[in-house]
Structure 1
Amino acid sequence: MNVLERAGRLTAHAAAVPGSGIREIVMLAYGRDDVVHLEIGEPDFGTPTHIVAAGDAALATANRYTPSAGIPPLRAAIADRLHTRYGTPDDPERVVVSQGAVQGLAAVLSVLVEPGDEVLIPDPAWPNYEMQTLLLGGRPVRYPLDPAHGFRPDPEQVAALIGPRTKVLVLNTPGNPTGAVLEPGLIEALVTAAVRRGVTVVSDEVYDEIVLDGRHTSALTVAPDDVVGVFSFSKTYAMTGSRVGYLTAPAWLAPTVARVQEPLLSSISAAAQASALAALRGPQDAVTAMVATYRDRRDLVVDRLAAAGHRVTPPAGAFYLMLPLTPGADSRAAALDLVDHGVALAPGTAFGTAARSHLRLSLASSAADLVAGIDRFTAWYAHTDGGVR
């Protein structure tokens, strides 16, 4: 039996999952010291010392299995945080701790989506929404985020896409890859349109603490009995390697999500959960400082691009900025070419079709790297007519 014959053993669902266009650039640029890395969303800050110390202490004294839905003190602290910030029910039983936000999202979709069901996802969007939907045999249906309108959705367009097989509407604010922060009225209109049709809203709010302008509004404030909020410690506290996320779900959904954690992963690392608890209970000045730095970096990049003749929409949240190429340019081809010109950027094609002529730049790098990367990008842009050649 040859390789192709053996490949026939794979499920159709798994075979349908595409590779990540972000990871393609990451791997191409991996280990290259001659490349400025602006392609991945990982904070360049160290994890605050009190968070590291708590994890180290847990390794020495409590390195054991934990409850599948998370240790009770952490679930209680998360419930308190969400109640204080967004007025959600102060109920730890609605909270499930996950292996990063990505696994929490996978757990939620696994209990809501059956083969053939539809999941409405933004375009552009974080690739994992589509990948996870396909892995479950679901059908991703994209709703556009128009670059000309600051990458904001039109509630009427979204409502028109809701059909009899629609099970989930995914929202993401602050947005990855766009950096857009959706206004309260827009969020309310989107959630209301879904709830009226019996559709569950899954709101990715991983960047809820990283707001550069204005304020973040949680979809949880609109319809807490029909919205799942997905969050993470990774970006907020610069602890991506700890792999701790969490979600809050309606009372009718949370127990099932908690139960499926057992066959999915048994339990989250005890040390990582101790670190997460210390992050919530400890000082927040490091978070404030990181957000201020991201804001400074954004302004630096926007100003430097403007000086070179490139006008961009300043992101209001997260730490990403969308760089437009010449209309019609292939951003994947551009991103591949740019690696050989010394800068790694994520192609817009990795996130859908609406930003196919854009590149995503991550602000989670030093000011020096951002300056070098922008200079290399603008030189390449002038040489290629914005990616056309």
Structure 2
Amino acid sequence: MPELSSHVRDAAPNQIREITQAAWAQPDSIVLSIGEPGFPTPPHILEAAQATLGRDETGYTPNAGIAPLRAAFADRISRQTGTEVSPGRAFVTSGAQQGLHLAMSMLLDAGDEILIPNPGYPTFAMTARLLHAEPVEYPLYPEHDFQPRIEDIEALITEKTRVLLLNSPSNPLGAVFSAGLVRDLVELARRRDLWIISDECYEAFTYDVPHVSPLAYDGGPGGERVIVSVTLSKTYGLTGLRIGALITPAGLEAPMSIAMEAIVSCVASPSQYAALAALTGPQDYVSAAAAHYRTNRDAASAVLDAKSIPYLKAQGAFYLWADLSHASDGNVRAWTQKFLAEQGVAVAPGTAFGSIGEGWIRIALCGDAVELVTGLGRLPARDSG
């Protein structure tokens, strides 16, 4: 058999999937390693998908998606950011991951550099490498509450740097950027002539702080440079329907359509009509989910406090980032595997998200509250003396 391409051969395994699949194979495990919302899908969303099949609307749609859905995405983003977004700037994607691949495909040539967070979601680097681009990690340090610093990012910019990737609310950290920081990051990109890809998967879930998109500060001298990736996977629990959108600067309609045709052609029509129902129908699911995640965050924090385990207080998303360095002995990946085998609880190792994650774990807060508290109760306490 001929060899696979080097960028596929050299791809590292996804440590989140590694621990999660091991947990699924171990009976009665408590799985806190993956961000899978556990609520039933609202009936009106299911009915919209079923109605699409019932009327046999199973042909191609426009590359960019059906017009009402593009308008619904544009309306949501306009209301969130206070910036008028026309429907022509919204491109329907097969989930956020396909959207990120599409955005990077549009912006990166082979050998170009993209700045990504460390810790950050692992597919940021994986996707860049599949496109023969080079991911360059900017540090998010514990002593700075895992917030990016302008000077750290600017020190990494070279003549090959094309894109700055931002993620707020953050997976895995639960950190949220302030309006001032977002404004400064956009100004940095403008000053150094970079594109921004803003991954906003968890925009619906923040706690006591607002979500601020870089889109709110886009434009001005040098033109627009922000591409926003959103998804309904987390917001409405539609992970399997694979539906999201990219919001782009004006004027990219033709090249985006060409790239869409080559990558996905168009998203499945039942998923698009389900998404339209989600965006334009009752929003009870979102408010109930946000309340559940907040309650779980507070319950999990109480368990960690009782065990004297340090953690970053989550301001958004539905994860808790906890420091298990007192128990992991410098190899948190191996420790999570041992913890699963001995205690029946799966948590994601921090090294799945970058080198700065060594000693840390990511805890998913989206599942059953009793299982969450039970699982965290098995973590080894830290000696407070």
Q: What TM-score, normalized to structure 2?
A: 0.94
| Aligned position for 1:197 | 192
**Which among 5, 13, 37 is matched to residue 11 of structure 1?**
5
Where does 1:181-260 land on structure 2 (aligned, <5 Å)?
181-224=176-219, 225-260=224-259
Map Cα deviations across residues 292-341 of structure 1 (whole Å, 9 max, x no partner): 11000000000111112223222000000011012662110111111112
Quick check: 2:332–2:350 contact (8 Å CA) kept in 1?
yes
Partner of 2:379: 377
Question: How many angstroms apart in 2 are the aligned matches of 1:254 and 1:20?
Answer: 34
The match for 2:148 is 153
Q: Equivalents in 2 of 1:193, 1:322: separation in Å?
A: 28
Aligned length: 376
| Partner Cα separation in structure 1 for residue 209 and residue 85 of structure 2 | 26
| CA contact 2:116–2:137 (8 Å) conserved in 1 | yes
Say whether residues 1:264 and 2:258 are aligned partners.
no
Contact 1:93 1:255 in 2 (8 A): no
Deviation at 1:267, TM superposition (A): 1.2
Provide the rounded CA distance (Å) in 2 between the counterparts of 1:355 and 1:253.
37
Equivalent position of 1:294 in the other structure: 293
Tell me, which stretches of 5 or more residues in structure 1 are unaligned? Answer: 1-5
**Which one is further off, 63-72 or 27-36?**
27-36
Q: CA deviation at 1:241?
A: 0.7
Secondary structure of 1:22's counterpart equals helix
- The 3-state SS of whatever aligns with 1:34 is coil
Question: What does residue 320 of structure 1 align with?
Answer: 319
Deviations 1:129-163 (A, max 9, x none): 00001111111100011122221011111111111
CA separation of 1:149/1:337 partners in 2, compared to 1, >3 Å: closer, same or farther? Answer: same
Counterpart secondary structure, 1:25: helix
Quick one: which of 65, 72, 76 aligns to 2:67?
72
Give the match for residue 129 of structure 1. Answer: 124
Could you tell me how far apart the structure 1 residues matched to 2:208 and 2:97 are? Answer: 26
| Structure 2 counterpart of 1:3 | none
- 1:342 pairs, out of 336, 341, 344, with 344
Matched, 1:363 2:365: yes
Amino acid at match of 1:361: I
8 Å contact from structure 1 (residues 74, 277) kept in 2: yes
TM-score, with structure 1 as normaliser? 0.93
Name the CA distance, whole Å, in 2 between partners of 1:278 and 1:356. Answer: 42
Q: Secondary structure at the match of 1:377?
A: coil
Residues 147 and 355, structure 1, Cα contact 8 Å, conserved in 2: no
Cα distance in 2, alignment partners of residues 143 and 88 from structure 1 = 28
Q: Given residue 344 of structure 1, which amino acid in structure 2 is its aligned partner?
A: A
Specify the code of the residue in structure 1 equivalent to 2:185. Answer: L
Query: Which residue in 2 is equivalent to 1:174?
Result: 169
Distance 1:258 1:104 in 2: 13
Tell me which amino acid in the other structure corresponds to 1:22: I
Partner of 1:57: 51
CA distance in 2, matches of 1:33, 1:212: 34
Task: Report SS of the residue matched to 2:79.
Answer: helix
* Cα separation, 2, equivalents of 1:311 and 1:246: 36
Query: What RMSD, in angstroms, separates the aligned Cα atoms of the two structures?
Result: 1.6
Amino acid at match of 2:5: T
